Amino acid sequence: MQKSAAADAAAIPGIASPSRNSAIPAQARPADAAAISKIANQLRISSIRMTTAANSGHPGGSLSSADAFATLYFGGVLAHDPANPSWEGRDRFILSNGHICPVWYSALGKAGYFPESELATFRQLGSRLQGHPQKGTLPSIEVSTGSLGQGFCVAAGLALGLKMDGKASKVFVSLGDGEVEEGCVWEAAMASSHYKLENLIAFVDRNGLQQNGPTEKVMGIEPLADKWRAFGWNAIEADGHDARQILGAFNRAKTAAGGRPTVIIFKTVMGKGVPFMENDHQWHGKALPKEKAEEAVRILEKGA
């Protein structure tokens, strides 16, 4: 985590010295690209195990997003403190595509927000690991999500509030590529550039698939980067399975200036890492049967 208060001050016009109110906590040394890729595979394995144990849930997008989550949480991108989840100076994260919470919960567990043994209770009655993130269940869930598009609007409001208070914290928000079909995504996009929310960083999992098939067949969203640019955003495109590119994109977004929020479009593959799941939309919202899951874990363990 290399945060420069000076860079932040420059990034938020009209605000002299944005502050985090307290020192940034010491964190484990950020993982390098090779280590991030290993962690991503561990998150994939965990996502497969969780969904198969629950016999439901959404493995496809969890696997396509794993590298971005590994980078965000373990590559020194997000300022956060598992020992003090409500640290006021933290960067905020919102999972607007709430259905891919297996990969997020896996990252939170690995980071130490709760015992990893709890991952096995995902989606069961009484578990803190709800089928979609619910505020008040686990630390670091800022808002309940699962109804697509809504988390992004909340992220915009949170970024606006932090900016009004002169805070240096960034707001990161994850979106699915099917999710951007929701109208409110574009309402929030418009508002974010209107209010010059440089502290807002959105990333879209451009795996090309949604529940009923390819996005371009269900409801064409291209040209996606140009749409964001037309809405007043910086748009960065990167390979969402290349940790170095992901790191580079996040770091560019963090130092963005000029009154524009930044979106990173990560080109990804649904089901990444498990050949028999890749690019197949049936795995958007279906758990692998037990034997298939064991096979998937064996394949992924080679890269973990």
Partner 1 sequence: MAVALNANVSSTPAEATRDGFGKGLVELAEKNPRVVALSGDLNDSTRVDWLREKFPEKFVQAGIAEQNMVGMAAGLSLSGRVPFAATFGPFMLRAADHIRVSIAFSNLNVKLAATHCGLTTGEDGGNAQVLEDLAFFRALPNFTVIAPCDSLEAKKATIAAGEAAGPHYLRLGREKTPTITSEETPFKIGRAEIFRDGGDVAIIACGIMVGEALKAAESLARERKIEAEVINLHTIKPIDEKAIVAAARKCGCVVTAEEHQVHAGMGSAVAEVLGEKMPVPLRMVGVRDKFGTSGKGMELLKAYGLTAEKIAQAAEEVVKLKK
Ligand X SMILES: Cc1ncc(C[n+]2csc(CCOP(=O)(O)OP(=O)(O)O)c2C)c(N)n1
Judged by CB under 6 A, the chain residues 52 through 111 that form the site for ligand X are 58, 60-61, 97, 99-100
d(CA 232, CA 171): 17
Cis-peptide into 115, omega within 30 deg? no
Q: Give the per-residue contact string, 210-249, with Mg ion (x = CB under 5 A; - = no).
A: x---------------------------------------
The kind and range of the H/E element at 239 are: strand 234-239
Measured from each CB, the residue nearest to ligand X is: 176
Q: Does 19 interact with partner 1 (rule: CB under 8 A)? A: no
Handedness of CA 145, 150, 142, 30 (dihedral sign): positive
DSSP alpha helix (H) spans, the chain: 5-11, 33-54, 59-74, 101-111, 150-164, 183-194, 215-218, 224-230, 243-254, 290-301
Task: Specify the residue, 168 or 274, whose C-beta has the smaller distance to ligand X.
Answer: 274
Judged by CB under 8 A, the chain residues 167 through 196 that form the site for partner 1 are 178-179, 181-183
Q: Which stretch binds partner 1 (CB under 8 A): 77-85, 167-175, 205-213, 253-261?
A: 205-213
Tokens 């906590």: give the residue: 25
Q: What residue 5 binds from Mg ion, ligand X, partner 1, none (CB within 5 to 8 A, per partner kind)? A: none
d(CA 25, CA 232): 34
Tokens of 109: 């567990």
Measure Cα distances from 117 to 1, 43, 106, 139 in Å: 27, 14, 10, 16
Q: Does 182 interact with Mg ion (rule: CB under 5 A)? A: no
3-state class (DSSP) for residue 68: helix
Binding residue for partner 1 (CB under 8 A) from 16, 23, 26, 125?
Answer: 125
Question: Taking the CB of residue 136, how many other CB atoms lie within 10 A of it?
Answer: 9
Q: Does 149 interact with partner 1 (rule: CB under 8 A)? A: yes
Q: What residue 286 binds from partner 1, ligand X, Mg ion, none (CB within 5 to 8 A, per partner kind)? A: none
Judged by CB under 5 A, the chain residues 198 through 217 that form the site for Mg ion are 207, 209-210
Closest distance to Mg ion from the beta carbon of 104 (Å): 16
Residues within the interface to partner 1 (CB under 8 A):
54-57, 98, 123-127, 129-132, 134, 144-149, 178-179, 181-183, 210-212, 218-219
Residues within the interface to ligand X (CB under 6 A):
58, 60-61, 97, 99-100, 146-148, 176-179, 205, 207, 209-211, 270, 284
